[in-house]
Amino acid sequence: MLGSRGIDSAAEKAMSEQESESNWQGGSLIAVLYVALLVQAFAGISLRGLYADGAVFVTQMLANENFVVGPSRWMSNVIVETPEVIAIELGIGTSDRIASIFSITSSLLPGLLFLACGYILPPAKRRFIVFPAFVYFGGTLASQFASVTEGLVATAYVWMLFFLLLFWRLSVWRSSVICVLSIGCIRLHEEMSFLAPLLMAAGCLRFRDTKPLFARLALGLALLALLTSAMVGFYWILFPYAPEERGLFVSQSLERQWWLYIPGSGCNLPALLSLMAIVAIITCVAAPRISRTAVLAFGGSSIVLSVASFWVDDLTAPAAQFYSRHNSAFLSFAVMILVMIARDVPDISFRMSMPPVRSIIMVLGIATSLWHVQATKKWSAFLANFRNVLASNRGIIPATVLLQPSNARSAQLTHMMMWSWTNPDLSILALPRRCVTSIIANPTAGWQPYNLSDPTTLPRISGLTYTYLLARDSQPAVCSSP
């Protein structure tokens, strides 16, 4: 009798210690997620969301006073653009405010959805947070400089739904939420062509374990919606709505490896760190005896490289982040399969969340966040020079003025940050003003979206007047007229 009580007491103590350890595991990684979100908030406030196509999205929203959506990414665009459209409808949508809202929203939203995964998990399963945390730190943050890319929020959305399907305790309203979110996947992104089957597999696992009739009906509808989303995703890959989309999805991502290194521009350090982290994690799992060495080697090298990026510009390649736009989705494909296996094989989940692996993932999050701090500082320096050129000149300003500023450092930052066809849109947004007295042209080579000699081809935005072609003395009268 006493022996039985002793055994029960020991078992309860072991379970309690295991649950406490699981909570600590999740809490430590969630803390690093919060740190990463603070860094992305800093990036959003610095208007880094206007990099690449971001400026065009904002000017088009202001001109149309509506959503700007791609046919294959309707849901992703709507998720990111809803705050901006609401602001426009409420009459508070000045160009600088909408630019700030878009930049902050696109910078923060993927991380917030990944953070939600940690709160979806029940306490006993908190160790599973290592999987989405790794995808966020190693995949999303390797692309987050180009926060305009819709795949970032799409992948985070998929992860949230994936965890809801696998781990959420189902009730009537929770089953309904899963069903609605699954319907939202139908036009989420082309990435659903290979991520939707994994969501379907998770749904089938949960359907097998679910007894209530309503929950089973909701899961059945969710599976149907996910099947549809996979078919729609395949369609848009086979028949892209724009020819260049096929190149972005296949050529730059898979063939040329521009997501890691662009000749003449530099290396995508966060992507390199994610590869190093994968090697370190495999080492810890396969050879636990040298796990401490693996952690120290990865931790030391990743922090040194991240600090070096403050001075070595070859380690800051924003364009490579744009071309790594699908990295988080590709990485998720493998990691989600591992999650489903680990869900039914506890030994795997414990191995993947043991202290050395957690340490590597946390260091990865800190190192990539440190990289984003320096990248945002460089973007801010570029934007300050961009604004100065706009304020100091009148009329159409050649792009070469940006590339030949007063010091070589500014020219280097301009070469790093300037996108080939969005200077006019950035000119509208970078310097808050009612009268657009100056506008920076795109480089002469390549596609030109506007004819700057004809201001009617520029976005027609309420409250803005294009006077950059008028004589200086006639501009005040035009700007002051109703």
The bridge status of strand 266-267 relative to strand 261-262 is: antiparallel
Cβ(280)–Cβ(297) below 8 Å: yes
Average of pLDDT values for 41-55?
97
Whether residues 136 and 209 fall in one domain:
yes
Whether residues 331 and 275 fall in one domain:
yes
Tell me the C-alpha distance between 387 and 445, whole Å. 23
Average of pLDDT values for 81-103?
93
- Domain presence at residue 254: yes
Total-model pTM: 0.92
pLDDT at residue 40 greater than cutoff 50: yes
Whether residues 409 and 271 fall in one domain:
no
- Domain presence at residue 9: no
| SS3 letters across 86-122 | HHHHCCCCCHHHHHHHHHHHHHHHHHHHHHHHHHHCC
Beta bridge partners of 466: 436
pLDDT at residue 3 greater than cutoff 60: no
pLDDT at residue 18 greater than cutoff 60: no
Which one of 346, 375, 404 terminates a domain? 375
Beta bridge partners of 262: 266
- Domain presence at residue 387: yes
- Domain presence at residue 5: no
**Which pLDDT value is given to residue 154?**
98
- Domain presence at residue 4: no
% residues pLDDT > 90 (the chain) = 76
Which one of 327, 358, 375 terminates a domain? 375
Using the 8-state DSSP alphabet, how is residue 418 labeled?
-
Tell me the C-alpha distance between 69 and 81, whole Å. 9
Average of pLDDT values for 417-440?
95
Q: For the chain, how big is the Rg over CA atoms in Å? A: 25
**Which pLDDT value is given to residue 254?**
59
Question: Quick one: which of 258, 64, 65 has its CA closest to 146?
Answer: 258
Report which residue type is found at 280.
A
Whether residues 220 and 330 fall in one domain:
yes
- Domain presence at residue 386: yes
Tell me the per-residue pLDDT of 344-403, one tens digit each, with 9 for 90 and over.
Answer: 998 998 999 899 999 999 999 999 999 999 999 999 999 999 999 999 999 999 999 988
Cβ(71)–Cβ(341) below 8 Å: no
Among the ranges given (35-39, 44-48, 109-113, 401-405), the one the predictor scored with the smallest mean pLDDT: 401-405
Domain count along the chain: 2
Cβ(183)–Cβ(220) below 8 Å: no
Contacts of 454 (CB under 8 A, 6+ apart): none
Tell me the per-residue pLDDT of 148-183, one tens digit each, with 9 for 90 and over.
Answer: 999 999 999 999 999 999 999 988 899 999 999 999
Whether residues 89 and 150 fall in one domain:
yes
- Domain presence at residue 6: no
Confidence at 205, pLDDT banded by 50, 70, 90? very high
Q: From residue 62, give the alpha-carbon distance in Å to each of 58, 172, 462, 481.
A: 6, 40, 8, 21
Average of pLDDT values for 100-118?
97
Determine the structural domain holding residue 385 and report its residue range: 380-480
- Domain presence at residue 3: no
pLDDT at residue 14 greater than cutoff 50: no
Whether residues 331 and 422 fall in one domain:
no
Whether residues 310 and 417 fall in one domain:
no
Whether residues 168 and 248 fall in one domain:
yes
Whether residues 424 and 387 fall in one domain:
yes
Whether residues 191 and 59 fall in one domain:
yes
Note the helical H segments in 287-406: 291-308, 318-323, 327-344, 346-352, 355-392, 400-403
Query: Would you state the structure tokens that stand for residue 384, as one six-digit string?
Result: 């300050």
**Which pLDDT value is given to residue 105?**
98
Mean pLDDT of all residues in the chain? 90
Cβ(130)–Cβ(154) below 8 Å: no
Cβ(317)–Cβ(413) below 8 Å: no
**Which pLDDT value is given to residue 478?**
78
Tell me the C-alpha distance between 249 and 240, whole Å. 10
Whether residues 364 and 400 fall in one domain:
no
Token match 């029940």: residue?
122
Whether residues 340 and 422 fall in one domain:
no
Which one of 375, 403, 419 terminates a domain? 375
